Structure 1
Amino acid sequence: MPVNPDLVGRVFPPTPPYLVGREKVREFARAVFAEAPQHSDVDAARDLGYADVVAPPTFAMVVQDITLQQLLAEPGSGIELSRLVHAEQRFRYTRPIVAGDELTATLTVGGIRTLGGNAMVTSDAEIVDATGAHVVTATSVLLVGEGAA
């Protein structure tokens, strides 16, 4: 089944709030080799003016993943995990993510481009804090391979 072109412009419901935990930030920082002290040391982060440890920039993927799960679960989308490659990722920040943030994300499918039976699906996850203020937009491009003939 090809990717359903009716997904373009689709806005999924906001995710449940995700509370950014200090230990989650530290674990993520270790996993991606982000060794700057503000990612693990509260005092270092506070010296830089933050309330708590600061997540590495790619941490937004943790929240964005919840929105991508919505897309993958959409019946009739034509997007199957077994045919999927994460082709591109971009982030546009208003401010860094900090432990203690409560984040909610809303996914919008921005476009689908067909390439020889494959499809490139572009989506934006708008991530906001508990006050509704923009924190980051995470843009993903998913390459969906052609299904079995």
Structure 2
Amino acid sequence: MPIDVEAARKLPFDPISVAVERGRLRFFAKAIGETDPVYTEVEAARQAGHPDLPVPPTFFFSLELESPEPFGYLAALGVDLRRVLHGEQSFTYHRMANAGDTLTLEPRITEAFSKKGGALEFLVKQTDISRDGELIAEARSVVVVRNPEVPQ
């Protein structure tokens, strides 16, 4: 079923507020194979000039999973999750975030389009990440929806 582009662009998202905890940062650093003690040891982070453990660059993506239904927007658009592919992910960084920060994430669909006559549909979601109203980073993700019933 084709994605309604206008509905996708107008889809409301609730802001997400997330407290960044040291334990989660350490776990994430270990999971991605980060060995720099700046990301796991508070003293090393402070010696490097950080007030606490810094947020590793791609950690912001995991924060969106804090919402009650992180992929609920796809269901709201009638997307069959079995046909979803991760297309792309990128970040633009403006400031550092650290353990102890409370971050607010504000996602929105910025673009929706199709290729191959509708066999592939793309949803582009941008999330602004801020701390006390100050923009920290922008996360951009692209979800690809396969529509095998559409002839190519």
Shared topology, TM-score over 0.5?
yes
Residue matched to 1:88: 88
Maintained 8 Å contact 1:22/1:100: yes
Deviation >6 Å, runs of 4+? none
Residue matched to 2:103: 103
Q: How does 1:1-149 map to 2 (within 5 A)?
A: 1-6=1-6, 7-8=8-9, 10-15=11-16, 17-66=17-66, 68-74=70-76, 77-116=77-116, 117-129=119-131, 131-146=132-147
CA deviations over 1:20-73 (Å, ceiling 9, x no partner): 110100000000011111110101111122111112100001123346434234
TM-score by length of 1: 0.88
CA RMSD of aligned residues (A): 1.8
Deviation at 1:147, TM superposition (A): 5.6
Unaligned runs of 5+ in 2: none
TM-score by length of 2: 0.86
Maintained 8 Å contact 1:72/1:79: yes
Higher gyration radius (CA)? 2
